[in-house]
A and B are shown apart, each in its own frame.
Chain A
Amino acid sequence: GAVVSQHPSWVICKSGTSVKIECRSLDFQATTMFWYRQFPKQSLMLMATSNEGSKATYEQGVEKDKFLINHASLTLSTLTVTSAHPEDSSFYICSANLLAGGPYEQYFGPGTRLTVT
């Protein structure tokens, strides 16, 4: 149980275009989903916390107009990288925690590798 999927698993796009990444909780409902970015040989960096039906909470230094997050249902959150640039190339990972119960474990999706050319 507690499976999180992401789509696409990898994407290559041209500079200036937008890319949408989907994160789905397949067998549970997630009130909260998290979006992380990870550059090579670095740790996970939390970008934003996404709550179903409300605006996402962005971490300091993350541009909310560039990284659009929508959490339309209890099983789906999307991250759209707008006007992508090569420096946005990274590994984007989403996670979700169960609606109820502990120990507040986060279940991670498999990640999306974005390359902007």
Chain B
Amino acid sequence: GQNIDQPTEMTATEGAIVQINCTYQTSGFNGLFWYQQHAGEAPTFLSYNVLDGLEEKGRFSSFLSRSKGYSYLLLKELQMKDSASYLCAVLDSNYQLIWGAGTKLIIKP
């Protein structure tokens, strides 16, 4: 079956750095997405990785290792507004998005 694993909840301090991991087992791979979702709102796009390596975009970076079925989202200089759920999703061989359950990130002052 297809499976995406990410931690249920993480806590970090304002100004710090946090890494949210995602491991996946899917039928085929056409890319991995990270989305941010604030409570009661729809997800918003953060990043897309299809090749191995690190993609940096401002305070957020996303890493992919296809051979390990592994990705992480790195958030630097954490702000209170970064408190949200972070969803990992993989595009499988049928170009269907397989979603993880999301990681709820709690930022403390």
Q: Taking beta carbons and an 8 Å cutoff, which residues of A are in contact with B?
A: 34, 42-46, 49, 91, 93, 103-111, 113
In angstroms, Cα B31 to Cα A93, docked, is 22
Pull 21 A–B residue pairs with CB atoms less than 8 Å apart, ordered by A. A34-B97, A43-B87, A43-B99, A43-B100, A43-B102, A44-B87, A44-B99, A46-B96, A46-B99, A91-B40, A93-B43, A103-B31, A103-B48, A103-B50, A104-B30, A104-B95, A105-B33, A108-B42, A108-B44, A111-B42, A113-B40
Q: Main SS of chain B's interface residues? A: loop
Shortest Cβ distance from residue B30 to the other chain A in the assembled complex, whole angstroms: 7
Cβ proximity bits B70-106 to A, threshold 8 Å, 1 near / 0 not: 0000000000000000010001000111011110000
The reply to whether A107 and B99 form a contact with Cβ atoms under 8 Å apart is no
Shortest Cβ distance from residue B49 to the other chain A in the assembled complex, whole angstroms: 9
Write the chain B residue with the least CB distance to A32: B95
Q: Which residues of B contact A107 (CB under 8 A)?
A: 45
Q: Which residues of A contact B45 (CB under 8 A)?
A: 105-107
Write the chain A residue with the least CB distance to B33: A105
The reply to whether A108 and B33 form a contact with Cβ atoms under 8 Å apart is no
The reply to whether B97 and A46 form a contact with Cβ atoms under 8 Å apart is yes
Q: Which residues of B contact A106 (CB under 8 A)?
A: 45, 97
The reply to whether A110 and B101 form a contact with Cβ atoms under 8 Å apart is no
Apart from A104-B95, A107-B45: 20 A-B pairs, beta carbons within 8 A = A34-B97, A42-B101, A43-B100, A43-B102, A44-B43, A44-B99, A45-B99, A46-B96, A46-B99, A103-B31, A103-B50, A104-B31, A104-B91, A105-B45, A105-B48, A106-B97, A108-B44, A110-B41, A111-B41, A111-B42
The reply to whether B48 and A108 form a contact with Cβ atoms under 8 Å apart is no
In angstroms, Cα B97 to Cα A105, docked, is 10
Q: Which of A42, A43, A49, A93 contacts B42 (CB under 8 A)?
A: A93
In angstroms, Cα B108 to Cα A114, docked, is 32
Q: Which residues of A contact B99 (CB under 8 A)?
A: 43-46
Write the chain B residue with the least CB distance to A10: B40
